[in-house]
Structure 1
């Protein structure tokens, strides 16, 4: 049986430091659950940014990966979170994909008393128990009581 695939939506590929220090930790944590991680900066690294139309090509490839992945794990730090991550998350929600959110940023970015971010980011999560789909530390990714580990379980 093929490994479940998870699209890792994050802004961390834009910075050399983030790419070197942060992305590997997330990729490893997700792989440790038995998931095949689709990290868009690595998957679309072959695009020649000197060529006309490169941005459209990258956007189309990323959107196709969101369509083809089994689930989406979005890093939603920032106030507001990265625009590209928000589009990828919105697409995954619209496609009915399981979505999981990571935010270890303590700042609130919302007008809701319940949710730490814009309420639309939670539209793909259940009304009850949505907290199981939100991660506030790397260590929580492996937590068997949280939604991602349950979803990733074989069988």
Structure 2
């Protein structure tokens, strides 16, 4: 198959999120033959650890500013190189970085499959499942929004073949 999916998700920020992402979600996708473009692995862990080890202050802030540009550029390039995006939409509201990645992919004409397994209400009104614009950008190029992990394979097949 060799379709390349960029994974947009806030789950890399926490230990529990990483455990679910790498232990549950990504295996569902890779078993289907998709190649993962993982933003949490595009920038060197060593580089991030070095900056995190600095004491609080201007040097650490300035180094983070530099690294933030690297991270953003790496992620944007991976989205450009992908066939589309798989976005995790859990949380009280969709993560702002994930929403940005969805919008960027949509602007490039790339389809998005969104997964929201979180049962909390997150839409602007009864007509949606998440923020109006997020849902619009997911669906504008034939993407789908699913609410159960068991439905992800069917949605990926429908959208990416």
- Give TM class, smaller chain: 0.7 to 0.9
CA shift at 1:102, angstroms? 0.4
RMSD (Å) for aligned C-alpha atoms: 2.1
For residues 21 and 98 of structure 1, what CA distance do their matches in structure 2 show?
24
CA shift at 1:104, angstroms? 1.0
Matched, 1:37 2:36: yes
2:8 alignment counterpart: 9
Deviations 1:15-41 (A, max 9, x none): 122212333311111112211011111
For residues 39 and 144 of structure 2, what CA distance do their matches in structure 1 show?
22
Q: What secondary structure is seen at the aligned counterpart in 2 of 1:20? A: helix
Q: Count matched residues.
A: 146
Query: Is the 8 Å Cα contact of residues 35 and 152 (structure 1) preserved in structure 2?
Result: no
CA shift at 1:108, angstroms? 1.6
* Structure 1: gaps (5+ residues): none
Query: Is the 8 Å Cα contact of residues 129 and 135 (structure 2) preserved in structure 1?
Result: no
Find the structure with the greater CA-based Rg. Answer: 2
CA shift at 1:47, angstroms? 5.8
TM value normalised by structure 1: 0.83
For residues 126 and 11 of structure 1, what CA distance do their matches in structure 2 show?
23
1:86 alignment counterpart: 99
For residues 10 and 47 of structure 1, what CA distance do their matches in structure 2 show?
21
